[in-house]
Amino acid sequence: MNERMGHQSIRFGEPVYIRSGASVAGKKEGEGPLGPCFDEIEKDPLAGEKTWEQAESALQHRAALRALDKAGIKNTDLRMIFAGDLLAQCTASAYNLAQLDVPVYGLFGACSTMGEALSLASMAVAGDFAEYAMALTSSHFASAEKEFRFPLAYGNQRPLSATWTVTGSGACVLSKVKSRAAVTGVTTGKIVDFGLKDSMNMGACMAPAACDTICTNLQDFGRQPEEYDRIITGDLGSVGQQILFDLLEKQGYDIKRQHLDCGMLIFDDAVQDTHAGGSGCGCSAVVFASYILPRIISGEWKRILFVPTGALMSKVSFAEGQTVPGIAQAVVVEHMEEKD
Amino acid sequence: MNERMGHQSIRFGEPVYIRSGASVAGKKEGEGPLGPCFDEIEKDPLAGEKTWEQAESALQHRAALRALDKAGIKNTDLRMIFAGDLLAQCTASAYNLAQLDVPVYGLFGACSTMGEALSLASMAVAGDFAEYAMALTSSHFASAEKEFRFPLAYGNQRPLSATWTVTGSGACVLSKVKSRAAVTGVTTGKIVDFGLKDSMNMGACMAPAACDTICTNLQDFGRQPEEYDRIITGDLGSVGQQILFDLLEKQGYDIKRQHLDCGMLIFDDAVQDTHAGGSGCGCSAVVFASYILPRIISGEWKRILFVPTGALMSKVSFAEGQTVPGIAQAVVVEHMEEKD
């Protein structure tokens, strides 16, 4: 029996197993600390396509096929895909999914999308709505710069608080068929708006939402931070991480020993000049599939809280002087002992 | 026990009751055939705000509050909202939801979003993940024209196949608390791409997806069109309707006697110069809440298939010469006899 915990969380009656995770990353990501972990590194920014948007679709397509292959199933075995990306009207997902020929629910949660997709795909399996469901997201440095910032050829300077959008796509297949890793609960995030307007400091915009979701998760499940081996945010970066620590301290929580951030894991700023860290829907997705999931499967980590974070803004909202609200979607992932 | 039907459909073990539906529409919509049905008509295109985007957020906020009020619950009673809109990065929803202070999963399904939101909110209730969940979408003529087409001041001519984006927002509250209308099943749509590229003929782009989802629903549930009192698409308009009839005929189905289209219901082209009909995430949402739901509640219609349709495109995909794939999400809604 699925159980509602507190006001925002769900504990699944049976674990929702992660049958597979797959990651396809770009050249710069491949040169970073997690390079050896990715399933595939695509060195061509256009991935053989004509536009960056099509390239992003292509990376997403490959990640989806790899996740299916690793799970030992076909596209026709998937009852639904939960997918999204950062582009206006989520076109990277739309063109991939049209080819993939699988029923789909499109999502928009900015860089929190992998958390949202894993949450909804887990609910779909836990509620007996799907035998197999997929969570799938992507981002691309060049398509995101074009969408949100400046033309690449302009070569603008970036403040140190800025993050570097990850080129890559991550996919996970979920089902009730047993494996060594499972989603056991979720905490649905609220949109939190602290009134910040700096799109070059998204870590600061998202940290309040991350704080809210993490605190709520701990309270709803009656846990202390120590009960998670790691609490892993999406893409707060180094600036957002410090703000998260400060905000959590005010709530009486210290997660410094447990905290990791996908954006800080994927690049080495000292060598790669990526400033605060990586970001984008693809960031937490590829780090989850390539780095986090294997540690859960091996049992190195018994239980983690995965908290992708999103900055909710558009070119238009920025131009109109609007704030950048944040959101964070949390998923509890646990190591499962093989019993059968 | 929730039951998976065929490859794309779900029949809920217990009905998911629609506790309330609310609609807020713009001036032109208020002057149309459904004017008397709306809960509120906002005559100011800016709804007292400074921008069209903020105006859309404001309409969405009012629709959400009205739906809560009609359901007799507070925002804190909602465990999750499934919401989305047409704007890049779904900002109309983000700014409303930040104010509403409710956990949220953001969606993008273009004009199919109300079907997607009702589907996922129904699953959330049917799976015991939420006591109360809300489905919420919006669109605004001026914010959509700015997003997808030309500056309003340019006064461009519109081909007869073009649709007119509805200004308005619709919201529904779902729960297991009994009422006279319920969602009893859903069919998840696939993205269907027939290779069409004309963003001024979205009915043609979406009709193949509508055909696919309707046929799949009929097959998965083993029903004939006559077993639905109405089959109601989102915003195919008059051009898309004819294409849908032709495509369905090739599949051996004739739904001419059952078919209605929200886009054709909301405007009177002869008087309002709206060409093929209304469109936008708000179109099917306000027509559902104001016109369809009351007929289910009264028992005039015992069972309908509600099939919002979406055209998946962006300014960028259009400029890059990409196709406009379509998607359609179907929800089975039935009249419930009062028993208690």
pLDDT tens-place string over residues A25-78: 999 999 999 999 999 999 999 999 999 999 999 999 999 999 999 999 999 999
Give the C-alpha separation, A199 to A206, whole Å. 11
B contacts of A147 (beta carbons < 8 Å): 88, 316
Residues facing A306 on adjacent strands = A232, A331
| pLDDT tens digits in sequence order for chain B, 340 residues long | 899 999 999 999 999 999 999 999 999 999 999 999 999 999 999 999 999 999 999 999 999 999 999 999 999 999 999 999 999 999 999 999 999 999 999 999 999 999 999 999 999 999 999 999 999 999 999 999 999 988 888 888 889 999 999 999 999 999 999 999 999 999 999 999 999 999 899 999 999 999 999 999 999 999 999 999 999 999 999 999 999 999 999 999 999 999 999 999 999 999 999 999 999 999 999 999 999 999 999 999 999 999 999 999 999 999 999 999 999 999 999 999 976 5
How far CA B61 is from CA of A127, B187, B321, in Å, comes to: 30, 28, 36
Task: Give residue B151's pLDDT.
Answer: 87
Asked if residues A47 and A58 have their Cβ atoms less than 8 Å apart, the reply is yes
Average pLDDT over residues A203-220: 97
CATH homologous superfamily for the domain A181-335: Stage V sporulation protein AD (3.40.47.40)
Q: Do domains A13-175 and A181-335 have the same CATH topology?
A: yes
Residues B108, A89: C-beta atoms closer than 8 Å: yes
Give the C-alpha separation, B77 to B177, whole Å. 13
Report the sign of the C-alpha dihedral through residues A2, A186, B94, B233, in that order: negative
Give the C-alpha separation, B327 to B194, whole Å. 11
Token pair of B288, please?
């559902």
B contacts of A105 (beta carbons < 8 Å): 107, 109, 116, 119-120, 188, 329
Look at residue B10 and give its three-state secondary structure.
strand
Residue type, position B247, single letter: L
Instruction: Report if pTM > 0.95.
Output: yes
B contacts of A1 (beta carbons < 8 Å): 128
Q: Which of A9, A78, A129 best tests the B interface by mutation, with the highest count of B CBs <10 A?
A: A129
Sketch the domain layout of chain A as residue ranges. 13-175, 181-335
- From the list B103, B123, B147, which residue is nearest A127 (CB)? B123
Q: Which of A16, A91, A136 best tests the B interface by mutation, with the highest count of B CBs <10 A?
A: A91
Q: Which of A108, A213, A220 best tests the B interface by mutation, with the highest count of B CBs <10 A?
A: A108
Task: Give residue B339's pLDDT.
Answer: 62
As a CATH number, domain B1-340 is: 3.40.47.40
Query: What b-and-e string marks burial along A271-281, b requiring 16 or more CB atoms within 10 Å of the CB?
Result: ebebbbbbbbb
Q: Any residues with CB less than 8 A from the CB of B157 and at least 6 apart, and which? A: none
As a CATH number, domain A13-175 is: 3.40.47.40
